[in-house]
Amino acid sequence: MSADAVHIVETGLDVPTGVLSLYGGMQAPGPEHEVPTAPGRYRARVSYVPASPLPHADPDEPGPHLHHRIDLWPSPEPRGPTLPCRGPYGWAGWL
C-alpha cells in the first residue's frame, strides 16, 4: 500500500478476455485504454494519493487533486470490495 494514500479501495476483478480497460468516468472507452493482462482472477487496489494540480487544470474546478495508483495481483478466489483506508472526503464513504 502507498504510505501517502489518503483513501484505498480493494476489490476482486475477473479478466476473462486478457484485456483490462482503464478509463475515467467522463471518458469513452477506446483501444488506448486497454491493458493486456493474462486472463484470470485478480485483486485490485486503487490508492488515492494527494497531488498538486496539473499545469493545465481549471483553477475553478473544486475538490482535491489526486493521483490514482492501481495495484493488481492474482487472486485464487473471488472477494468483494473492502475499504482498507477511508479518506477524509465526502465521497470516501462510498464503497
Residue 23 is assigned to a structural domain of this protein = no
pLDDT at 14: 93
Residue 54 is assigned to a structural domain of this protein = yes
Side-chain-side CA neighbours of residue 53 (13 Å): 10
Residue 80 is assigned to a structural domain of this protein = yes
- Using alpha carbons, list the distances in angstroms from residue 82 to 12, 33, 40, 65, 68: 9, 25, 20, 23, 17
Higher pLDDT, 46 or 38: 38
Residue 25 is assigned to a structural domain of this protein = no
Residue 34 is assigned to a structural domain of this protein = no
Residue 2 is assigned to a structural domain of this protein = no
Encode pLDDT of 46-87 as tens digits.
Answer: 888 888 877 887 877 766 777 888 899 999 888 889 888 787
Residue 1 is assigned to a structural domain of this protein = no
Q: Which of 28-32, 39-43, 63-67 has the highest mean pLDDT?
A: 39-43
Domain containing 84 equals 7-14+41-93
Domain count, the chain: 1
